């Protein structure tokens, strides 16, 4: 679980532009090497989509994908995280929805699970699968962390830079285009917040929303539908 770039960039080191589309607020930032170092990230494009009850989440998420990818490409969708933990199950839920809906001939899916369960490094597993199937894009989906309660379960972040599985809680290595030898996109939604950020004073631990399972399920379905709409040739794929 990494942290949202929009919060790391609030220090003013990285300028961006914001606009509204499909009822959602888009925050777009491009980090060069210097700006990336200033906020502890890797260089690349970052798109944050803040949604609400009136936003068309599926269209907003598809629009964000369209800014970072090309159509008619082969993609490998990787569901990161631990599917047995509600706050960390987003990636696995996306993979499950894609299997249920039918992926066509352009989309493959893979859920490596976390190293604590498999005793295998998830980044190395994804690299091995990507090298075997040679997709045009690897799209890694993972749960994120946030410093603001209002963003829990309502903020989608996209980047072509990197993903650090477990980064939000101090664990994990980097996954990016250089490591995977193909174009890389990371997609995440925050479902966890530190006790310190939630309470406003020094405290230990992390918290998740009471309805995290339902919220993660909704977000996973939105991401899966957007992936299908963007990349699949199967126009008649069933809707979940």
pLDDT, tens digit, 9 for 90 and up, residues 5-40? 777 655 455 678 899 999 999 999 988 888 888 777
What does the angle CA 42 – CA 70 – CA 152 come to, to the nearest 5 degrees? 50
User: In the structure, what pLDDT confidence band is assigned to residue 240 with cuts at 50, 70 and 90?
Assistant: very low
DSSP state of 167: G
> Per this entry, what is the length of the chain?
240
Matching CATH number, 71-231, of 3.90.930.12, 3.40.50.1450, 3.40.190.10, 1.10.10.10? 3.40.50.1450
DSSP state of 237: P
- Would you state the torsion angle of the CA atoms of residues 214, 189, 107, 122, taken in this order, to the nearest 10 degrees? -100
pTM (2 d.p.): 0.90
């Amino acid at each position: 679980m990494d942290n949202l770039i929009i919060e790391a960039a609030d220090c003013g080191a990285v300028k961006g532009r914001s606009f509204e589309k499909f009822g959602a607020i888009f925050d777009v930032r491009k980090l060069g090497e210097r700006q990336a170092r200033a906020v502890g990230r890797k260089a690349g494009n970052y798109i944050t989509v803040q949604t609400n009850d009136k936003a068309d989440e599926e269209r907003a998420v598809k629009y964000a994908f369209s800014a970072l990818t090309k159509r008619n490409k082969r993609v490998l969708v990787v569901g990161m995280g631990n599917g047995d933990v509600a706050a960390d199950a987003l990636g696995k839920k996306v993979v499950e929805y894609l299997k249920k809906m039918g992926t066509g001939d352009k989309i493959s899916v893979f859920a490596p699970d976390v190293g604590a369960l498999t005793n295998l490094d998830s980044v190395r597993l994804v690299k091995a699968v990507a090298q075997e199937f040679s997709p045009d894009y690897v799209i890694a989906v993972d749960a994120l962390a946030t410093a603001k309660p209002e963003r829990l379960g309502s903020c989608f972040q996209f980047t072509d830079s990197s993903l650090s599985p477990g980064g939000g809680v101090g664990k994990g290595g980097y996954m990016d285009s250089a490591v995977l030898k193909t174009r890389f996109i990371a997609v995440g939604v925050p479902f966890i917040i530190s006790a310190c950020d939630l309470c406003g004073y020094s405290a230990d631990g992390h918290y998740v929303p009471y309805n995290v399972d339902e919220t993660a399920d909704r977000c996973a379905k939105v991401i899966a539908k957007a992936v299908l709409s963007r990349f699949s040739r199967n126009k008649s794929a069933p809707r979940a």
